[in-house]
Chains A and B, each alone.
Chain A
Amino acid sequence: MSRLEAKKPSFCRSEPLTSERVRATLSVLKGIVTSCYGPAGRLKQLHNGLGGSVCTTSQSAALLANLPVTHPILKILTTSVQNHVSCFSDGGLFTAILCCNLVENVQRLGLTPTTVIKLNKQLLSLCTSYLKSEACGCRIPVNFSSTQILLCLVRSILTSKPACMLTTKEIDHISTLILRAFLLIIPENAQDHIILGKSIIVPLKRQRVIDSTVLPGILIEISEVQLMKILPIKKSDSFKVALFCVSLSGDLSDTGEGNVVVSYGVSLENAVLDQLLNLGRQLVSDHVDLVLCQKVIHPSLKQFLRTHHVIAVDRVGVAVMEPLSKVTGTRPIGSLDSISPSSYGSVKDLCTAKFGFKHFFHIIPNEATVCSLLLCNRNDTAWDELKLTCQTALHALQLTIKEPCVLLGGGCTETHLAAYIRHKTRSEPEGILRDDGCTQTELQLITEAFCSALESLAGSLEHDGGEVLTDGKYGHFWSVQADSPSVVNWPDVLSRCGCGLYSSQEELSWSFLRSARPPFVPQTCLPCEATDSAGNLTLDCFTAKLSGLQVAVETANLILDLSYVIEDKN
């Protein structure tokens, strides 16, 4: 029964950002996301007091999905980060922290929202055009003839997720696997535009990480009982496959809207079974070797097929239907009578395999772009985290193929970008202030807020109480151990910058990130040999980071523009 009730009046608040409560909640959220950021980030344990599993994570995707947010402003922030993550997988924490920093910094200034929004937008377009330009000093073009940079990218992503609980050796192993899985899904004979295949992640929990592996083709998990029935597989170089999307269980299909009256003594089950056995006969006479069914196969039909040495695997599920039809070249069959011969496909080999305690039926295609990544980890939460990370890495690789370049990681892009903007607004403010009616002072204030938001984002990579520095030549990010002596010769305590491109042996004028520094021209144009020689760089996905930057600034603008909040209390 639907009840019509008078709606309760909504709750209306003006100037939401000025309220102390909102600021407090924003800073709590900022604290949460900041402490998760980077390889040294702290883990968060989310558990529901009413039950359910405990989630240990430091990833924005898992964190924000489980975090209950009540205030509408925080909701805007978290949903925009979540939407970004669902588009690009990577860079969620980056977006969230930057957005929080921007809102906080700009609010302190007390300028009118119009000015702030205009100038923020100008600074953003300055950033994006610089990052997209050839002269950009924090962008490395990807050379696909070597796997070095791609491997660095994957390793950086794995390193930045401490909740996966991987050792250095395991990180090396998994990053090689991910890269191999990615290379397997690239079609060999690519035309003008590439259609990537799919890598299916197969769970194998409570095993050693080192046992993880990548196999070409598709793995279908089967029970041991089923496995006994399948054995043995005859030797052949090609197997004919039929793939059914319709149920072969013998249930009556939809009988229409009217009534069906069945006379006494007429058994429809027998009639349908007859039909199924006829189908079986046709399959046998067509020399099909393997029958796969999305739904259930009737035991009698299974029995019939087995006696004729046809392997039948049922309940494969809708998820693998598309990759299956792709690797085998079959057309999913939706009919019980007369199958067109063109619907059959073929595979190169079939075998059964046992990984850990699970049995799999392994379909090896002739040439295909589908692979299975068997992923192991010690416990459930760590496995979930690792799976998310692998998906992120695979997605980042895909994005890198579209836009073949990567950004320097480890905080170097942020500090470099901040140095560039400072220099740009100081040297040519006219170009930015063209027709906006804003003053130079306002521009300087906003620039300072914007740059310090970027720098404190980089600074939040350091969690162990160490000092963060930047150099006066490249504008890169350097961090010092907490327990280093106070009066120091910088090159002694520093080793390499955040991304690992430069070493401290060069004479660079270091200064604290938080202290005031004279603006300088950061060296643009990376030297080619630098990118080739440096073996172990920390890198970030270009597309994800660029979009994260845009989304963060847009969301911050949106939040700063709010004058009222109307809450519907119904």
Chain B
Amino acid sequence: MEEVILHGTSYNLFTYRVIWALKIKGIPFDYIEEEHSDKGSLIMKYNPAFKRFPILFHGEKALSESMVILEYIEDTWPQNPLLPIDPFDRAKARFWVKFAGDKGHCVGTMYYTTGEKQEKAIKETIEMLKIIEEQAFGDQEKNFFGGEKIGIVDMAFGIIPHWLEVIEDIVGVKLLEPHSFPRLLNWVQNFKEEQVIKENLPNRDNMFVFLKNQREILLSSS
């Protein structure tokens, strides 16, 4: 099998999505941690369009953008599928992946802004969580968005477990209340207890310190 090398950055959800996908499929890979501020030769050569990590190398092939990488991983290694088989169910899964991409940035905005901008981002985050709670789970009770096993939608919503919790602590808000989001909180619990996820999450305390420092730097320079 051709070598698989992942270049990513610490505490970065997009990097973790790729790690989770590779681990679930049992694909051996090397991980190289890059500097957050690195916009050097790798990025300019392999992702000038978006200028960011993660970048996955499979032999000589280079891929970037985490959800594109996940579909590639799914196409290349079909074991332990991340997507359903039925085309309609696949379309539904991809819809929620797109939704996560469209709306997920409000969590980041909540984190690195203050005042009115932050209030707006908090509102948008709550709206996003409401839509997921009310519409993304469908009619059946199941452990994950994908059913009994973790799938691509669970990974797309990966910002909610762990990352949102840490950002809530830093910013000083509590959005994921049990009475408002029972299904989401149940999912968060299941997600974090899943073996592959449990073994591949950034250390919470270290992430808290890192993100808190980053926030202070960001806010003082704006």
Q: Do A and B come from one complex?
A: no
| Residues of A in contact with B (beta carbons under 8 Å apart) | none
| Residues of B in contact with A (beta carbons under 8 Å apart) | none
